[in-house]
Every structure is written in structure tokens, then in C-alpha cells.
Structure 1
Amino acid sequence: MSNKRLVADVGGTNSRIGIYDADSDTFSAISSYSNRDFTSFEDIVERWLSDLEEERPSQACIAAAAPPTEDRINMINIGWDFSCRDLADRFLFTQCGWLNDFQANSHALPYLASHDLEQIQAGDIQRERLPLAVVGPGTGLGGGSLLWSGDKPVASNAEPGHAGLSPATELELEIFSLLLPRHGNIYTELFVCGAGLARLYGAIAEINGHTPETLSPADISGRALDGSDPLCVTALKTFCAMLGSTCGDFVLSNGAYGGLFIAGGIIPRMIPFLRQSSFLDRFSAKGAMGEYLARVPVQVITTDHPGLIGAAHAPLE
């Protein structure tokens, strides 16, 4: 019997599909698709299978940016709704399962190689069987954790983006004071995500008596990285500091002392800037637990497909 599995990572913009062969521990036939070119995920699978030049996989596991449910996957942002049972019936999979994208990222963590990661803090805690955490700023701010029940990995997704956030500097206090009346609540994702970076830039410009330009998050990070705009530099520094506070809280809340992994599309493009920022200071600025957090390994995930790796290794039940 074939031990090959279709693995898919379905995001709000793009979908990636490939084959994972558990016998050889290898991936093949990986293809990426723009979701806007298709009316459904089933159509993407149909296209991928029609182009496949090797044995069809007998199983399927899908990582999707959707709230965890049982059989049905409801991707609210793009209006897609599909069922694993229906996929199995249509494409003759003996097993078909799915998991949330950050559950998939969590399942990937033990299988990431050194070339899939960039070290931010070496740490000195041996992570064998200790819980692991992953946080990922991108369109929003997601998170997940991985722990073990005996030999079985158990992955959970979380919503750190909707947790509270406290100011830690005079500038942050000014930002909070400016934006609290406008938003009614200060939560982490208000600042620690792509749109949050733009919000930080706008607030910092106002505080300094400037009219903010209409800049995308990519524009702001680009200007910050090349040092051409002091307001953008301050915004990105503040973003990194708040991310550090958020990550420290997330590790403590999950007891994830085996290691923190940073995912998402933003941080891999700015690792030198992150290293020079106050990220690590804020990560460990947690009172009596600060010395312990300074020992937790911190790494950035740089591989393009952690979701596929997680979907490859997640148990199908």
C-alpha cells in the first residue's frame, strides 16, 4: 500500500499542494496556485492531479487558514467551504483530514532542519519533550503550541493577536493614549501584524507633528531597513519591541520552554533588524521569569512551506 500523502497549505491568497512520501521522508510535485484563479479548493486539487506525473497519493492532509471544526472547512475570508469527506469520496482518498494552519505550523516544529531556521537566541534549555510555541505575524497574528501525550504530538492553535498588550515605553504610552479613544480597546494585533505596522507608523508620525504618508506595510519596512525614513525606523523598532513582549507572554502562558519559533511572512525579511532591535530584551522582560526566558531558544522559520511539513507529519485519525 502506498504511504504517500497529499499535503496542502491553503491560505487566504495562495494554495500550495504536494506529495509527502513517509517511506523516504521526501516531498515531491509541489505546486503553488493563486486562489483567485479558481472557484473552489476542489478545482485546485483537480488541476494538480491532472498535472501529476507520478503515483497518486492514497491519503490527504490539508492545512487551512480557518477556524478549527470537524469535517467542514469554512474559509470565511475567501468564501470557500468544503468537506474532507467529500474530498475523499471525489478523489478516492482512503483518509482525508485537515487542521488549522497554526496547528500545522506546530506539528512542523520538531521536523525543521537547521537550514529551515535562523537562530535569534541560542538558549541552553534542552527541548526534548518540552512544549514548543510558534507565533506568526502576517495579515494577522496567529500562534500555536505543541506538546506530547506519551509519544503522541498534540498541537493547538491560539489567538495571541486578540490578547491584551501593555505599553512598556513612554512612546508606547503615547501611542496607546492616542489610539485607545479611536479603537476602544488595545489588543496585540492592533500593532503586531502587517496592518499594525502601518498603524504604528501613522501614530508615530502624528505624535511627532507630521502628516503620515499613505504607505503600505512593505513600504514602511523597506524604508526602515534602508534607514531612509526616521519615522519608519521608529515604527519598525516599536513593532519588534511589541513582538518581543507578545512572544514572551505567549511562551509563559503555554509553558513552552522548549523553544519559540517565529513564522509568517514579515520577520524572515528583516532578521538582521530584529536582532539589533529590543526584541530579545522585551521577550525576557518578565520579572522573576526573565532569567528563565533568556535561556529559551528562539528561532525564525525561514522555509517556504512549514504548513506542508506540518500537514505531512500531523496524525490522521
Structure 2
Amino acid sequence: MMSDAGAAALTLLVDLGGTNVRFGVADPVLEAPLLPDSVRRYRVAEHESLVATARHYLEDTGLKVKRAVVAAAGRIDDGETVKVTNNPWAISARQTASELGLEAVHLVNDFAAQSMAVALLQRADLVQVGAPPLPTIGADEEQTFAVVGPGTGLGVGGLLVRQGHCSVLQTEGGHAGFAAHTHEDIAILDYLNQRFGRVSNERLICGQGLVNLYDALCNIAGTTAEPLLPEDITARAKDASDPLCVRTVETFAGIFGSVAGDLVLTLGAWDGVYLTGGLIPILLPWLERGHFRERFEAKGRFRDIMQKVPTQAIMNPEPGLLGAAALAVVESGRPLLRQP
């Protein structure tokens, strides 16, 4: 049975995306702070608000919490409010705390949380993509990592390790403009530009991005695109039943490699890139087949150094909650990284 002191230390964790909201609870005093049996997932469209869903979760689990860390897919304004991208909910930290009877609610960008998750990942949570070896977090006094992932949208974050302490860069880098590199890229950009106007990386590297790429490649090939969903495209690619679907996921992997490589140059993330998001487990076979690393490394005069930058896929099913748990540990005052 949990003591009152233990109950007082528990932190509600929320990973709020465009389609789903995930809840969990962290005990910051534990080496593995995310309580595995606490994880639940709900569909955003089936619930009125974050507060209503949180109440439902707490009733379901019977857990008692005093604080919350909310990782939301959107820009945090003054640490107090967020309008979630691809999601109708608007969140206020102060109002959420008041309505749930909590001492405090910490709002962070979802990829700030995903970036912090890196500090708690185990080797079993990672799959190496390419030849460079996986890094050890905290092995050097200064390390910089990029975290990027396609799901409902395209998230981008950064993790800075300085003298044993972790901090994150909260960005909306997924909305940076798409940079075409090949003749096919230029044709894709031209098609999507006519359709959408400005073309961001997220227009191509996310679930709907698969559909946009498929439509563009069909247009380039002079064929009529079928009304496919992202899961239709990946299923047809997996069983090789549709050459254009195969080409779509191959192209996706290549462009994703270019985007990830550009992040290394932009953030100075020479220590490595972590690939996360709901599409990663599905698309991992194509990421491993060469197109991703080929374009990741194709950075002109920086090719030699890019060949040494490791990329790894996060296979842990709850990186957002894990990152929120890492933030709960930091807020508790306990060191997040083990001291050498």
C-alpha cells in the first residue's frame, strides 16, 4: 500500500498529441520513474477537454497526484497556455491546476519531453540506423542531440547535456520550409506548392505527408491517385503489391534523412539524432535500407563528419510520457543522469 509521503510525490504525466492523449504517473524517487501500470490512452475526439479526460483517467486508476507535467504538441506561450496543433483543445496551466486541485501544472512542448526522454532510455529501447555507434548520454561534459519524429505532425526538439545536466530546446522546426535536393524533390515541391502554397517539412514527413507524397508521385507518373490512408500506403508497400506505394515510403525515408541531417547542421547536434514518433516502428525497415542514411550524410563538404553522426530509432512505446517523467525527476531535485 502506498504511503501518504509516496502519494504526495506522485506526478501526473500527460502526452497530448493531435489524435491521442496519453496519461501516466511518475514517482520521481525511483530510478525508473514512469510507473508502467499507470499508462492509459484516450482518443481526443471522444472527450471534451483535457481536464475532463484527466478526471476520467484518475477515476479509472484511483491514483492520487499533487502535480502534473503536460507535454503538448504546440507552442507554449509564457509557460502558461498552449493551443495544441492539429487538436481542438486549448490548455491553461493555471486553470488546469485549479480544476484538478493540483499544486502546479508544468506545460512543455511535446518534443521537449521527447528530448528529455533520451536521458531515461535503455539500450533495449533503441535500434541503431546506420553504422556509427550509439552514444552514452553524459559520457562527455558537453553533448548536443537532435530529436525528430513523424506522427500526426512532425516534431523537432533538441537535448543539451552540459556538465551532467540536461536542458531542452523547444522548437516548431517541423514547420521549417522543405528544401528540395533532387529532380524528383523539385517535382514534388512544385506539385505540393500548387496545392498548398508554402510547403513545410511537415507536409511530407508525417502521416498525412505519406498521402501527400503518394499523390505527388502519382501525378509525376501520370496516373490517378487512389484515395488511400497512410496505413493503406504502408501496408501495400510492406507486401510490395503497389509499386507507387513502395516508391512513396522509399521517398519518405530519403527526405526524412535530408531533414534529420539538416537538423544536425542547424543545431550542431554532432553527438547524434534520435528518431521518434508513431510512424518510426512502421517505417523502420525502409529507414534501415539505406535511403535515410544516404541522404542524411549527403551534406556536401560536411559528408565526412555526417558519416560519424549516429542515428537511432526510439522503439519505446511511450517516449512522451517517459520524457514527462524525466522532467518530473528534474523538478523534484533528484539528478537525472547517473554520475560517473
Q: Give TM-score scaled by structure 2 length.
A: 0.85
| 2:17 is the alignment partner of 1:17 | no
| 2:72 is the alignment partner of 1:59 | no
Map of 1:35-74 to 2, 5 A cutoff? 35-54=44-63, 56-69=64-77, 70-74=79-83
- Alpha-carbon separation, structure 2, partners of 1:32 and 1:85: 24
Superimposed CA distance per residue, residues 187-230 of structure 1 (whole angstroms, 9 cap, x where no aligned partner)? 32222222222122122222222112111121112111211111
Q: Which residue of 2 aligns with 1:82?
A: 91
Moved more, 221-230 or 154-163: 154-163
- Alpha-carbon separation, structure 1, partners of 2:189 and 2:73: 30
| 2:43 is the alignment partner of 1:34 | yes
Q: Which residue of 2 aligns with 1:93?
A: 102
Superimposed CA distance per residue, residues 18-50 of structure 1 (whole angstroms, 9 cap, x where no aligned partner)? 211122234142222222332111112212222
Which consecutive residues of structure 2, in runs of 5 or more, have no partner in the other structure? 333-340
- Alpha-carbon separation, structure 1, partners of 2:74 and 2:176: 19
- Alpha-carbon separation, structure 1, partners of 2:83 and 2:189: 34
Report if the CA contact (8 A) 2:134-2:312 is conserved.
Answer: no
- Alpha-carbon separation, structure 1, partners of 2:270 and 2:47: 42
Among 136, 146, 155, the alignment partner of 1:133 is: 146
Q: Which residue of 2 aligns with 1:248?
A: 261
**What displacement does 1:233 show?**
1.1
Report if the CA contact (8 A) 1:225-1:270 is conserved.
Answer: no
Q: Which residue of 2 aligns with 1:273?
A: 286
Among 166, 171, 189, the alignment partner of 1:176 is: 189
Report if the CA contact (8 A) 2:146-2:157 is conserved.
Answer: yes
Q: Which residue of 1 aligns with 2:160?
A: 147
Among 188, 202, 205, the alignment partner of 2:218 is: 205
Q: Which residue of 2 aligns with 1:121?
A: 130
> In 2 relative to 1, CA 236–311 (structure 1 residues): closer, same or farther, beyond 3 Å?
same
Report if the CA contact (8 A) 1:141-1:192 is conserved.
Answer: yes
Moved more, 40-49 or 70-79: 70-79
- Alpha-carbon separation, structure 1, partners of 2:40 and 2:318: 11
**What displacement does 1:76 show?**
5.5
- Alpha-carbon separation, structure 2, partners of 1:149 and 1:262: 22
Among 237, 251, 266, the alignment partner of 1:224 is: 237
Superimposed CA distance per residue, residues 256-310 of structure 1 (whole angstroms, 9 cap, x where no aligned partner)? 1121011111121121222114110100111121111111111111111111111
- Alpha-carbon separation, structure 2, partners of 1:57 and 1:217: 38
Among 198, 204, 216, the alignment partner of 1:191 is: 204
Among 236, 240, 250, the alignment partner of 2:249 is: 236
> In 2 relative to 1, CA 173–87 (structure 1 residues): closer, same or farther, beyond 3 Å?
closer
Letter of the 1:3 counterpart: A
**What displacement does 1:112 show?**
0.9
> In 2 relative to 1, CA 255–125 (structure 1 residues): closer, same or farther, beyond 3 Å?
farther
**What displacement does 1:100 show?**
0.8
Q: Which residue of 2 aligns with 1:290?
A: 303
> In 2 relative to 1, CA 76–298 (structure 1 residues): closer, same or farther, beyond 3 Å?
closer
Secondary structure of 2:76's aligned partner: coil
Report if the CA contact (8 A) 1:237-1:277 is conserved.
Answer: no
Which consecutive residues of structure 1, in runs of 5 or more, have no partner in the other structure? none
**What displacement does 1:73 show?**
3.2
> In 2 relative to 1, CA 291–214 (structure 1 residues): closer, same or farther, beyond 3 Å?
same
* RMSD across aligned positions (CA): 2.2
Report if the CA contact (8 A) 1:125-1:295 is conserved.
Answer: no
